[in-house]
Structure 1
């Protein structure tokens, strides 16, 4: 299905056009073919994009501000939920005697959450932003209800997958709505501000999690937030519905013409969403990455038949996916054309590699802080969330810098020292003897770098596409991030599950070696041994050894991040909008 935009964007003035030595057109910013005209004749604007433009047309400035506030509140509640459940997860897996599967339960969820963004992008482009938002809220609530009632780790993993798809999808739809209602120069300022609830949830989330754990249990936490989230999401949906009716009355809302039967619609959407490509991606990455985390639970380790089969089948399915997409899919699930632009490709690669690096050392960090440094759920959550706090705090300032300078490339390059310091210093300080203050310092450095790079990378992509293409291009961006995170989780799970049991057995006193399996599988068992006792000292030594290896693995990816930054084109978004006009229609800021 071809897509295009119906926006009338002024053509680039003749005086701004130059030619390269090989005859390519270059605009005033010096980049050949850096962005397509919004009036390309080979595409058409899809209904979902037309509808959001019609809805924003009937919004007043006051209503636009109200929508920004409501989306901010939704983000606040979602981030608070994420902070609470993130601090309770070690106790959920430990409740079933499977603490070692902490990373494993997230791998499939992370992969499916990332892959589903392309499906969500098509959904909101075809049906509409409000419809996508409502579906994501339903998935979050369903996942939380299943978490509250789970009876084993497998059920929890399935529930977390539903929750994570909804959580990532809801964040994604909110960001797309913000992109729909802002200009390029203002966009990252609003998106940066919208991420600042983390500043509060960093402190509130761990404390709330501890209160639930002490005075109730993790089930009550999940159940309570499933109700709270719905209450704060309803106003957003109501405004969209009311605005749609107003747009219909004014005759500016494009109505869908129903000409297909149920079977025809099923066939149409099966092809349109490329269900085959979607499942090949999900099963391919899941089968390829899961064995690294679960091999310790296999009867014969790496020699176990199903472990070998999973890796081979995963690689095979990814190969089939590439062939299917390029040669057979009527509507490709993954639009490879976007990756021909070096800025988009490098921005996506940066996001993916960055998360691979982070998740290598972050996956078991909460458990490490509680067991090794004797911190409570609350304090360990504070340390862990300092990363997100720093990232959110720096976001609006980066948005302001870009708003006035129009430059995102050199702004992103300025984040390199923070990333290098934050990650490499962890090798020295992620030891049992290190002070918590140094760990917090590293979290701050890494958070600043991530905040700068995430903001700049998103804008780099948005500046390279049309309004019609924002949703799908950002979905690709999110997919790379999720796959990168899944790879990081797989590396972390492999190191934790393969090294820690051996180190526990090695370091435990002779009379306690038989307890190694029980200690490995449950964080509460680890915490029961008092600080200073021979067994607790052995546990701390084992965790310190594996954590050091995890940090070294994460540091190895930093050079790739730096290379990606220098590959970007240097597009000035302020000058770009002055020559091409604004992305989107309606009442936008």
Structure 2
């Protein structure tokens, strides 16, 4: 799987010997040993010093663990509504997701730094401990604040799992096969777990509690993550030992002198914790007010504390940009490695790729926050049925990602998949929003909802698979960890913005819609229904109260959906400016392979990427 080609010299030696015949058995054995030794050497060279057998074992363990991780995610994906409602805080779903996304935005660069400075294996082990702890916190939380704390660990654990797998696969594959193998583990395991997970979720809700759903997978996940952590640690150790990958630098070249000087180098110069603090504090202060304000919330937009949070958050984010842009200005921190290196944003294709995934995930997050709630209240679906409709997108992404990777392998092209995927995504989302409240009712043909979700999923799979390989190829083999982390970070940036805006619209519009449509005798219950959607589910179908809540929720979600459509429209223009990357058996566009990884020190070299000038006749492939 990882070794794409084996040296022609070995096969030539064997065929030549077969044509002329061996003089005796000893000579035959000698040639066989020589051929086997050369094949073994080739295997270890392609695997970064790790044998093909060990790489196969690693990928097998990855597949098994990915299946368990997918089941854990899909069997608990729609429990947030029940958790928040149990604390009479259903409208805080978007706040919980904001906590998750703020953590993710800040964690992605840190994970990339840890992978390079500390090691892939060590970083993976640390994040997996946090992943297990998050399910324990979910299962035992007594207050909504404890559930939010669990979201912090959940963000670090889940994105760490995904990020380190992507980095591992990129380290052990060439460009021509990377699109396929990057998507294969999540896709092949996500397909069965998507729908089976929704049935497991329904079973827990019907026969047990949401707490036991989280608690069960806390135990299962811990048992399966441990073997993968050992494998990742071993492979990373062997690659470093054989010089096929740069050794961790965080504990190297420490200055002579006091402990404080050593800590300064590690935390201020290498990890740049000041930059991390500016990003974290600025993001929290700027985005949280969007979800804690609203018609029924204690915080209002005209309150001084809310305005202060927005202003201070914005100032801190500006300071963060300046801090990363001018790392050499402070005399006592002149050797600082900025939290996000500015050279990551100097290439037009990389910038466009980051912007496109941010816009897409902004749309996806804004619409999905309350999509399950509206399907259950407005479409009369169960939690499992709503999850299966929503999961049609995930399943189509899984299947289409594998197919896109295979097509990229045989076409050796990337841009055509971007040009195909984006229009399909826009079409699917636009029609889905229309079906949510068409002529005053939700589309009764469930198949159409599935089809539109599939359109969105296939479109996202086409362009995302191509863009991820593109930015890894442009960034270079030695920068694959940071380039992957940045790419995934911008998905979280988009999701964070989309979730915040969705919370603003829902918190301010949904309550007004309920007052507009509820019968007079239920007006006094509008705020209670808004805070706990299970009250709406208890209303009998077809009654004036249930119809009123259904209409209010559908109209609110449609407003969010039209906004989300406006967000992704610019992608139809941006996609033309993505540069084509020719896929080869190398690890990047600069010709790096396992023997030359350490020598490639440039993050981006535009002269290699822009060899062919764009014209009106070649825009679709350049």
Shared fold per TM-score greater than 0.5:
yes
Structure 2 equivalent of residue 544 of structure 1 = 554
The Cα shift of 1:324 comes to 1.8
Q: Which runs of 5+ in 1 are unaligned?
A: 1-52
The Cα shift of 1:250 comes to 7.4
Partner Cα separation in structure 1 for residue 159 and residue 241 of structure 2: 34
Structure 1 equivalent of residue 578 of structure 2 = 568
Could you report, residue by residue, the CA deviation over 1:496-533 in whole angstroms, capped at 9, with x for unpaired residues? 11100111111111111010011011121110001111
Partner Cα separation in structure 1 for residue 87 and residue 562 of structure 2: 31
Are 2:360 and 1:362 equivalent residues in the alignment?
no
Partner Cα separation in structure 1 for residue 475 and residue 520 of structure 2: 63
55-64 or 418-427, larger mean C-alpha shift: 55-64
The Cα shift of 1:183 comes to 0.4
Partner Cα separation in structure 2 for residue 413 and residue 242 of structure 1: 40
Q: 1:579 and 1:506, CA in 2 relative to 1: closer, same or farther beyond 3 A?
A: closer
Partner Cα separation in structure 2 for residue 586 and residue 70 of structure 1: 28
Partner Cα separation in structure 2 for residue 250 and residue 482 of structure 1: 35
Structure 2 equivalent of residue 44 of structure 1 = none
64-73 or 486-495, larger mean C-alpha shift: 64-73
Q: How many residues align?
A: 535
Q: 1:490 and 1:145, CA in 2 relative to 1: closer, same or farther beyond 3 A?
A: same
Q: 1:343 and 1:150, CA in 2 relative to 1: closer, same or farther beyond 3 A?
A: same
- The TM-score normalised by the length of structure 2 is 0.82
Could you report, residue by residue, the CA deviation over 1:151-171 in whole angstroms, capped at 9, with x for unpaired residues? 111210111121112101110
Q: What secondary structure sits across from 2:338 in the alignment? A: coil
Partner Cα separation in structure 2 for residue 98 and residue 199 of structure 1: 32
Structure 2 equivalent of residue 77 of structure 1 = 68
The Cα shift of 1:59 comes to 2.3
Structure 2 equivalent of residue 184 of structure 1 = 175
Are 2:459 and 1:461 equivalent residues in the alignment?
no
366-375 or 570-579, larger mean C-alpha shift: 570-579
The Cα shift of 1:410 comes to 1.3
Partner Cα separation in structure 2 for residue 546 and residue 179 of structure 1: 42
Structure 2 equivalent of residue 320 of structure 1 = 319
Q: What secondary structure sits across from 1:530 in the alignment? A: coil
Q: What secondary structure sits across from 1:474 in the alignment? A: helix
The Cα shift of 1:420 comes to 2.1
Could you report, residue by residue, the CA deviation over 1:1-57 in whole angstroms, capped at 9, with x for unpaired residues? xxxxxxxxxxxxxxxxxxxxxxxxxxxxxxxxxxxxxxxxxxxxxxxxxxxx99944
Structure 2 equivalent of residue 408 of structure 1 = 414
- The TM-score normalised by the length of structure 1 is 0.86
Native 8 Å contact 1:54 1:586 kept in 2: no
Structure 2 equivalent of residue 394 of structure 1 = 400
Are 2:89 and 1:98 equivalent residues in the alignment?
yes
Native 8 Å contact 1:55 1:244 kept in 2: no
The Cα shift of 1:108 comes to 2.3
Native 8 Å contact 1:113 1:169 kept in 2: no
The Cα shift of 1:396 comes to 1.0
Partner Cα separation in structure 2 for residue 129 and residue 212 of structure 1: 36
Instruction: Select 1:137's aligned residue among 128, 134, 137.
Output: 128
For residues 434-449 of structure 1, the aligned pairs below 5 Å read 434-435=443-444, 436-449=446-459
Partner Cα separation in structure 1 for residue 551 and residue 594 of structure 2: 56
Partner Cα separation in structure 2 for residue 544 and residue 68 of structure 1: 44
* RMSD (CA atoms): 2.4
The Cα shift of 1:485 comes to 0.3
Could you report, residue by residue, the CA deviation over 1:390-428 in whole angstroms, capped at 9, with x for unpaired residues? 011101111111111111111211113311211111232
Q: Which has the higher contact order (CA 8 A, sep 6+)?
A: 1
Partner Cα separation in structure 2 for residue 482 and residue 258 of structure 1: 34
62-71 or 389-398, larger mean C-alpha shift: 62-71
Structure 2 equivalent of residue 288 of structure 1 = 286
Instruction: Select 2:190's aligned residue among 193, 198, 217.
Output: 198
Native 8 Å contact 2:119 2:236 kept in 1: no
Q: Which runs of 5+ in 2 are unaligned?
A: 1-43, 598-622
Q: 1:450 and 1:243, CA in 2 relative to 1: closer, same or farther beyond 3 A?
A: closer
